[in-house]
Amino acid sequence: MLDIKFIRENPDLIRDAARKKRITFNVEKLLEVDKIRRERQIEIDALRAQLHATSDQIAQLEDKDAKERIIAEMRALKKDIGEKEKAYTEIMSDFERLMYEVPNIPDPSVPDGGSDADNQEIRTVGVKPEFSFEPKSNIDILHELDLADFERGALVGGFRGFFLKNDAVLLTMGIWQFVFKHLVEKGYQPHTAPVLVREESFLGTGYFPQGREDVYKTQDDTYLIGTSEVSIMGMFRDQIFDEKDLPIKIVAFSPCFRREIGAHGKDTKGLYRVHEFMKVEQIILGPADHMESVKFHEELQKNGEEIMQLLGLAYRVVVNCGGDLGLGQVKKYDIEAWLPARRAYGETHSTSYFHDFQTRRLGIKYRNSEGVVRFAHSLNATAIATPRILMSILEQNQQEDGSVKIPKVLVPYVGKTEIKKP
C-alpha cells in the first residue's frame, strides 16, 4: 500500500507503474473517491461540532419551550449525521478497496516487458555438464532409482500429488539442514512458520486481493500459505521497533501450498509445479532507506547464489521485467537452474524488495534516533525450495551407469556419495 498523499501528488507515477506491471488500475477513480471521502469527513466533523455546541447551549437554557425546540433540532441533526456516516462508510469501503489495488512503483532499472519471457539475463554461473550419453529427465531418474511415486501420489493426493521415497527423502532433508546451517552462520534467526494464516496477513503482504484464486482456503476462513513470508510478516504486525534493532534477518521453514491456477497445461508431470512443497525463505526488515534496501536485496541474492554454487549447480540470474513483478515488488531477481534434459533453465529462487508497501499495510514501524516513527522496509528471497531443486541436482549429476552423484556439501547429511539403482 502506498501513502495516499504520495498518490495524490504523483498520479502519473501510479499510471506508469500500472502500465509497466501490466495491471489494470484507474488512479483517477481512486482520486475521485478520495476527494468525496475527504469532503464527507469534513461535513460530518462540522455537523458533530454543531451538535456539540447545541448540546452545550441546552445546558444553559431555562426556557422549557426553547429547550424542546433545540432538542428537536438535535434529533434532526443526529439523524442527518447518522445518514451521512452511513454514506461515509460506503465511500470508505470503496476507498480501501481501491487502495489495496494500487501497484507499487518499480525501480527504474526494471526492464519493460509483459511476461517472464521478457526477463533479462544478467549472468550465467557454473559450467553446464556435458554428457557422453543422452541425459535423462529428472522424472525418468526418479522412476529408475525408485525415488518417487507419482501414480500413487495422484491416487492419494489428486492431480500433481507425489510421494518422495528412499534416498530422495534423505537428500531433501539434507538440503534443508545444509541451507539452514549456511544462513544461521550468517546471523539469520531460524524460525518455523504457521501454515494456516488469517486473511489479514495475505492482505498485508500484497497477495490479496489479486491472488486469491491461487490460495487454498479452509472451512474455518483461514488460508494455506504459499510462502512463509506471509506468516513471518504477519508475526510483526502492528509492532514498533527501535532503529538500533534493525535489520531483522530471519530464515524460515514451512510447508507451502499453491493451486497453480495460472499454470493449467504447464509442467503437469514431475516436480516443477506441484501443489504442495517445502521452502526455506529469507526475510529482512530494515530501515526506510532505498539504498539500504538495495544493499539487502543484493545480500539476499548473494545468499541464494552461494547455496547454488555450494551445491555445484550451473544456473543463470535474470532481472524480472515489469509484467513479471507482483503488485508490491519494487524489483526482483530470479535464479534459474540448468536442466540438461530440457536444454533450458528453470526457476528455483526469487529475490524481491518492497520498500514500505507491505509494512504500511501491516503497521510495521520503527522509531529512529530522533524519535520519529517510520514504516520499515521489507525484503524476502527463496533460500531453497524442495522438491523443485531436486530436478537440477539429479539431472546435472547423473552418470552414464544410471547413478547420481550427491553434491559434496550434502554427503554428510545423506551418508553416501551417490544414489544407485536398487
Phi then psi for 111, rounded to 5 degrees?
-70, 155
Give the span between the Cα atoms of 171 and 419, in whole angstroms.
Answer: 10
CA pair distance 101, 203, nearest whole angstrom: 10
Catalytic site residue from 305, 361, 388, 392:
388
CB atoms within 10 A of CB 388: 23
388 belongs to the catalytic site: yes
From 258, 281, 305, 361, the catalytic residue: 258
User: Is residue 123 among the annotated active site residues?
Assistant: no
Known catalytic membership, residue 258: yes
SS3 per residue for 191-244? EECCCEECHHHHHHHCCCCCCHHHCCECCCCCEECCCHHHHHHHHCCCCEEEHH
Contact 269, 142 (CB under 8 A): no
Helix (DSSP H) and strand (DSSP E) numbers for the chain: 13, 17
CB atoms within 10 A of CB 144: 15
Question: In this structure, what are the phi and psi dihedrals at residue 392, rounded to the nearest 5 degrees?
Answer: -75, -35
**CA 416 – CA 396 distance, rounded (Å):** 18
Sheet containing 248-257: order of strands: 120-125, 315-319, 331-339, 344-353, 377-386, 276-286, 248-257, 189-192
Which grid cell is 342?
A: 530440457
Rounded Cα distance between 201 and 4, Å, is: 21
> Which of 201, 254, 350, 352 is the catalytic position?
350
Helix, strand or coil, per DSSP, at residue 264: coil
15 is catalytic: no
In whole angstroms, give the CA distance from residue 327 to residue 350: 15
Q: Distance between CA 4 and CA 213 in Å, rounded? A: 28
Candidates 259, 273, 316, 374; catalytic one: 273
Question: Is 273 among the residues known to form the active site?
Answer: yes
Q: Which residues are catalytic?
A: 258, 273, 347, 350, 388
